[in-house]
Amino acid sequence: MGKFGGFGGGAMGGMGNMQQLMKQAQKMQEDMARAKEDLAETEVTGTSGGGMVEIAMTCDKKVMSCKIKPEACDPDDIEMLEDLIVAAFNEASDAADSESEKVMGPYAQLGI
């Protein structure tokens, strides 16, 4: 035998490590897919005007509901209502982004 002790342990050990890495990568992909599914079911809300307008959306940014209290509906000031809707939507969107970053952040750090 030569100075490196032959081929047996080194070549096979490398294959075992590669298989282990592949299993870990597959598990991370499965975990990431599960996290995305969970985010698609996680609902956040945004409100404006002291609760006069409320938008609920999932963390994958699908709007689930928009609630507007009657006192927010002034026919002489439609622009205020429009602004309240935009503000509530933006707040809900920010909440969805924050939750997504919290859940998906570890995967982004790994470059997945």
HSE-CB for 56 with a 13 A CA cutoff? 7
Which residues fall within 8 angstroms of residue 29, CB to CB, at 6 or more apart?
112
Instruction: Indicate if the pLDDT at residue 7 is higher than 70.
Output: no
Q: What residue has token string 């507007």?
A: 68
Question: Which run of H or of E encompasses 108?
Answer: helix 78-109
Across 9-13, 14-18, 44-48, 88-92, least confident range = 9-13
Condensed to tens digits (0 to 9), the pLDDT of residues 57-66 reads 999 999 999 9
What single DSSP character describes residue 22?
A: H
35: amino acid identity, one letter: A
Please state the pTM of the whole predicted model.
0.71
Mean pLDDT within 78-91: 97
Condensed to tens digits (0 to 9), the pLDDT of residues 29-59 reads 898 889 889 899 999 999 999 999 999 999 9
Q: Which fold has domain 9-109?
A: Ybab; Chain: A; (3.30.1310)
Which residues fall within 8 angstroms of residue 62, CB to CB, at 6 or more apart?
40
> What's the whole-number average pLDDT of the chain?
86
Burial of 92 (0-12, 13-18, 19+ CB in 10 A): buried
